[in-house]
Structure 1
Amino acid sequence: MSSRPDAVVVGAGPNGLAAALRLSAAGLRVQVVERASRPGGGMRTEEVTLPGFAHDICSAVHPMGVASPFFREFDWASRGVRMIHPEIAFAHPLDGGQAAIAHHDLERTAAGLGADGDAYRALLGPLVEHGDDVIDYFLSSAFRRLPTRSPGAVTRFALNALPNVRWLAHRAFDGEPARALVGGAAAHGMLDLTRPLTAGLGMVLTMLAHHRGWPLPEGGTQRMADAMVTALEQQGGSVEYDHEVTDLREFDGVAAVLLDTSPDAFVAMAGDRLPPGYGRWVRRYKHGPGVFKVDWALSDPVPWTHPDVRRAGTVHVAGTLAETIAGEAAPAAGRLTDRPYVLAVQPTVVDPTRAPEGKHVFWAYVHVPHGSDVDMTTQIEAQVERFAPGFRDTILARATKTAPQMQEWNPNNVGGDISNGEASLLQMLARPVPRWNTYSTPMDHVFLASAATPPGPAVHGMCGDNAARVALRKVFGVRDVPPLRPAPPT
């Protein structure tokens, strides 16, 4: 660094860039340093199969990316990012040519669930009506709890959210389609679905399908990261690439350092500057299952048996709720299964720019035991073929990443855990260590700003934004945090 900035952010993922943008909006000189040769962390798009096929390496569909308070303020459209909404947010195929379908319209979704339609409306209708208030409240943190204008909706949600999704699905619904729909959404959390809080994740993600949708950015998720970097540079900030930080002494003299890293990486970078007790707590921090991911270049769309599944942006491939629960119980217990829960995305259903004319991209991942290097391609393709006979005949090329390779690609994915720490009830209350303000650390000028802090995983930017607000108050005495600067006129 040629001259010392006011603040340094380590890591150019969504949380690191969100922190940098908030700090820069306060008039500070901000520099981001990034280990990779391009920004994004989990928001990267690359040609990994064949030329002209653009694959999202990690995140692809962004309900939180349009619903979170930070990104609503950032405003993707004004930054040149076009968010495309599939006609069907997500689908859950079932045997016998059936499927549960989550349309953007709640009423249309409820109508497709038959006798469970009224129960579906009763469960999700109030959440959709007060969607922003519910999201704002639960994406804030104990340190900065946003006030809510809808205490009734928030309370109702909280009471249903604490149990597990199996309890919720059986309590609310009688039929398999509705149960599978909510259970498949809950499985995004990478937890055993018999554990607490999984009901809450299933409700939130299903509600968002009807509230702000499950969109994909045109051209790939990399466009989102690039737009954030452009906004930072327009405010005078900068990003330095191919810069791996191994020792925080590199930033001695910088007023504030924010880390979009794993807690383990922070402890390693801090060395003997941390009290031993903090390091012991970090060693107790539990990482969840890893992921094994496949990207395909296809000659034709995936030939799902149910025609509506062919129009969905996201597909949960698992079968019944019981099968989904069994598929997620295995990796949580350190086991593999031949019938895993497969989370799949078909971007070219709505975005033909990602592949040569007439061709398609498709990706999927399964949860595997933490750190597993087992190749799950056969099991994944068998699950897809089960609901889309002839799928294998459309494959032109594939690329795979095991859990260790996911960590090599992004060190925050410890053991392949793309959540930067298990999102269990205990760890959501004290993430990553039991401190009142978990963004602060024993080093007064160093703050954690990654998904290892509240509110946890997903592309919402709130971990970084919350950390930046703490740093502004504690280091720079800024209590009236300025809004993000609007995009300059074009």
Structure 2
Amino acid sequence: MAPRATIVGSGPNGLAASVALARAGYDVRVIEAATASGGGVRTAGLTLPGYRHDVCSAVHPAALSSPFFRAFGLDRIDWIVPEASFAHPLDDGRAAVAWRDLDRTVAGLGTDGKAWRSTVRPLNRHLAEVVDFTGNQLLRMPRHPLTVTRFGMRMLELGTSAGRRAFGTFGTEAAAALFTGVVAHANARLPSLAATASALYLLAHAHSTGWGYPRGGADAIAHALRDDLSAHGGHIDTDHRVGDLSALDWGDPAAGDLLLLDTAPRLALTLPDVPAGYARAVRRYRYGPAAAKVDFALDGPVPWTHPDVALAPTVHLGGTRDEIEASENAVARGSVTERPYVLAVQPSVLDDSRAPAGYQVLWAYIHVPAGSTLDPTELVTRQVERFAPGFRDRVIASHAMTAAQRQAYNPSDVGGDILGGSFSMLQAVRRPVLSTAPWRTPMRGVYLASAATPPGPGVHGMPGWLAARQALRDAGTPAELGDLFG
């Protein structure tokens, strides 16, 4: 009789773990609280018939470089990889664009082009090395010390006030705003070393594998994983919320049965006999500010003032670097400015399956304090209108999700934090505990497999895969990706 593996949570990490363990011979059961599996990669009709909206994440740069997804098979998903990775409009009608082609980006940034090239080229040329040292965990000797050194130097130069004063990188308004729009993804007080590290990682992708997304919606990722799980005998139980693991029948750890949690780490503390030290460490793990999201159904394209913005699925709205930093720092202090940073995605510019012919969808969120009940619709609408006059008249329907509603929808997003924990240098190492094997808990057979473990947030499946690999190693059946997906 095969050993059992129970996975709580069917986000991309939970599904990655389930696929790996099913292929390793386990009898796999995935338990999901929602009516549909997929977690952060769900797609649904949130507004009107015929419009498909991504419920959480929409663009997935990390998936295209992920060791897990590369082994699993990127060709199982129809990826759209745009020429324009992201755009950043400014008030005077100008716009800065990060093209996938680094030379084209450099040419568009004028006097800051050379600085942009020197920042990005050592990283995008060595993307696999960047992914290696950021995508496992930091408590080990780096295999590529030169790339790590270059990465660290750029962090200090761009992620600290002293570094910015000393080096003066990105002196033009356009380049500084273009860079800061990526830094602000981290939802942290700025400037920040951790947020800058995240931005450098994303920029390395922007000018190499690109900022891709699946045709038809993020659910295409979950669909491919679900199909593989089913093909290897696993199954998913939806509409099954687990709030207390002590009541869950997950098997016998003495017989080799496993329990993997694609959830907030504190759920593990509902098990019996949790060591006090581990419980204290998990309770010290901190969550950050939240996201409040709105989806729009539009009767045509967003009327951007600058035509190049219409070519980029991902658009950062917020004006200058100073404006974006003021917006993010206000959120860190517990408030929201009248002109917040907006992360917007217009998937329909390259994917005509998202809306009826001639129509489009727009996905957007702002950062808000944890647990906020603020409806972001009007703030987002005004920020889009600022750079695309006439946008308001294009809206035929919208659907908002506050931070409080986000947590109710997905309890793993504590307070509405979609990153699985606050983004800081401390929590890059202590995620959620300080350990060389942070996926393993002290409870026999129990492992953490969510974005609260290394390498953290993003749709790459790596926390799930690394948790499954740790479990297999502990069971005496070590496996690598090539063993399971070769």
Q: Fold conserved (TM > 0.5)? A: yes
1:108 to 88, 95, 104: 104
Taking the aligned partners of 2:414 and 2:479, their CA distance within structure 1 comes to: 36
Looking at structure 2, the residues matched to 444 and 64 of structure 1 have their Cα atoms a distance apart, in angstroms, of: 31
CA contact (8 A) 2:124 2:207 kept: yes
Which residue does 1:65 correspond to in 2?
63
Matched, 1:156 2:150: yes
| One-letter code aligned to 2:74 | W
Asked if the contact 2:331/2:369 (under 8 Å) is kept, the reply is yes
Superposition pairs of residues 90-101 of structure 1, within 5 angstroms: 90-101=86-97
Distance 1:201 1:116, change over 3 A: same
Correspondence for 1:29: 27
Equivalent residue for 2:480? 481
1:6-25 to 2 correspondence within 5 Å? Answer: 6-25=4-23
Q: Which residue of 2 aligns with 1:203?
A: 200
Deviation per residue, 1:305-326 (Å, 9 max, x gap): 0100011110000000111111
Mapped contact 1:169–1:182 kept (Cα < 8 A): no
Q: Structure 1 pair 160/146, CA: closer, same or farther in 2 (3 Å)? A: closer
Contact residue 86 and residue 349 of structure 1 kept, 8 A? no
Q: In the alignment, which of 212, 216, 238 is matched to residue 215 of structure 1?
A: 212
Amino acid at match of 1:199: T
For 1:73, the aligned partner's letter is A
Alignment of 1:271-310 (within 5 A): 272-310=272-310
Distance 2:14 2:398 in 1: 31
Give the C-alpha shift of residue 278 in structure 1: 2.5
Q: Deviation string for 1:463-483 (max 9, x for gaps)?
A: 111111111111x20224353
Measured after TM superposition, the shift of residue 144 of structure 1 is: 7.3
Match of 1:134 in 2: 130
Q: Is the 8 A contact 1:300 1:359 kept in 2?
A: yes
Query: Alpha carbons of 1:163 and 1:247: their partners in 2 closer, same or farther (altered >3 Å)?
Result: farther
TM-score by length of 2: 0.94
Give the partner amino acid of 2:406: M
* Equivalent residues of 1:191, 1:422 under 8 A apart: yes
Residue 4 of structure 1, CA deviation = 7.8
Alpha-carbon separation, structure 1, partners of 2:112 and 2:399: 40
How far does the alpha carbon of each residue in 1:182-224 deviate from its partner, in whole angstroms, 9 at most, with x for none? 1101111111122222221122112211110011100000111
- Whether the aligned pair in 2 keeps the contact of 1:285 and 1:433 (CA below 8 Å) is yes
In the TM superposition, what whole-angstrom CA distance separates every residue of 1:322-371 from its partner, at most 9, and x where no partner exists? 11111111111111211110000000000010101111000100000111
| Separation in structure 2 between the aligned mates of residue 144 and residue 32 of structure 1, nearest angstrom | 31
Distance 1:163 1:266, change over 3 A: farther
Structure 1: 5+ residue runs without aligned partners? none
Aligned twin of 1:238? 235
Deviation at 1:163, TM superposition (A): 6.2
Q: Distance in 1 between matches of 2:481 and 2:420?
A: 29
Q: Does the 8 Å CA contact 1:165/1:186 hold for their aligned counterparts? A: no
Corresponding position of 2:442 = 442
Contact 1:37 1:242 in 2 (8 A): yes
Q: Aligned residue for 2:41?
A: 43
Q: Is the 8 A contact 1:302 1:391 kept in 2?
A: yes
Say whether the 8 Å CA contact 2:441–2:447 is kept in structure 1. yes
Question: Measured at CA, do residues 246 and 423 of structure 1 come closer, stay the same or move farther in structure 2, by a change above 3 Å?
Answer: same
Q: CA deviation at 1:34?
A: 1.3
Q: Which runs of 5 or more residues in structure 2 are unaligned?
A: none
The whole-number CA distance in structure 2 between the counterparts of 1:297 and 1:157 is 40
1:118 alignment partner in structure 2: 114
Per-residue CA deviation, residues 12-59 of structure 1 (Å, 9 max, x unaligned), is 101111111222232222221111222110100000100010000111
Cα deviation, 1:389-435, whole Å, max 9, x if unaligned, reads 00000000000000011111111111010011101111111011233
Quick one: distance in 2 between partners of 1:484 and 1:395? Answer: 50
CA-based RMSD: 1.9
Contact 1:163 1:199 in 2 (8 A): no
1:279-329 Cα distance to aligned partner (Å, 9 max, x none): 232222111001110000000111110100011110000000111111111
Contact 1:70 1:460 in 2 (8 A): yes
Question: In 2 relative to 1, CA 21–408 (structure 1 residues): closer, same or farther, beyond 3 Å?
Answer: same
Query: SS of the counterpart of 2:104?
Result: helix
Tell me if structure 1 keeps the 8 A contact 2:2–2:25: no
Q: How does 1:399-410 map to 2 (within 5 A)?
A: 399-410=399-410
Letter of the structure 2 residue corresponding to residue 14 of structure 1: P
Measure the CA separation in 1 of the matches of 2:78 and 2:156: 35
CA distance in 2, matches of 1:140, 1:278: 22
Instruction: Name the CA distance, whole Å, in 1 between partners of 2:428 and 2:353.
Output: 38
Matches within 5 A, 1:385-424: 385-424=385-424
Cα separation, 1, equivalents of 2:228 and 2:415: 32
Aligned to 1:262: 264
What is the count of residue pairs matched by the alignment? 478
Name the CA distance, whole Å, in 2 between partners of 1:55 and 1:298.
Answer: 12
Once residues 252 and 204 of structure 1 are traced to their aligned partners in structure 2, the CA distance between those partners, rounded to angstroms, is: 40
C-alpha change, 1:482 and 1:453, in structure 2 (3 Å) is closer
**What is the Cα deviation at residue 162 of structure 1?**
5.0
Q: Residue 216 of structure 2: SS of its match in structure 1?
A: coil
Distance 1:163 1:207 in 2: 17
Is 1:229 aligned to 2:226, yes or no? yes
Local SS of the residue matching 1:211: coil
Secondary structure of the corresponding residue to residue 338 of structure 1: coil
**How many angstroms apart in 2 are the aligned matches of 1:6 and 1:376?**
43
Q: Secondary structure at the match of 2:122?
A: helix
Paired residues of 1:182 and 1:203 also in contact (CA < 8 A): no
Deviation by residue 1:147-189 (Cα, 9 ceiling, x = unmatched): 34xx322320122225653646663221111111111011111
Instruction: Supply the AA of the counterpart residue of 1:32.
Output: V
| Deviates most, 6-15 or 386-395 | 6-15
Question: Shift of the alpha carbon at 1:73?
Answer: 1.4
Percent identity between the two aligned chains = 48
Asked whether the equivalents of residues 169 and 183 of structure 1 are also in contact (C-alpha less than 8 Å), the reply is no
Which segment drifts farther, 169-178 or 97-106?
Answer: 169-178
Contact 1:25 1:484 in 2 (8 A): no
Which residue identity does 2:241 align to in structure 1?
E
1:440 aligned counterpart, secondary structure: coil
Provide the rounded CA distance (Å) in 2 between the counterparts of 1:144 and 1:12: 29
Quote the Cα distance in structure 1 between the aligned partners of 2:209 and 2:330.
Answer: 32
CA 1:311–1:130: 2 relative to 1, 3 Å: same
Map of 2:51 onto structure 1? 53
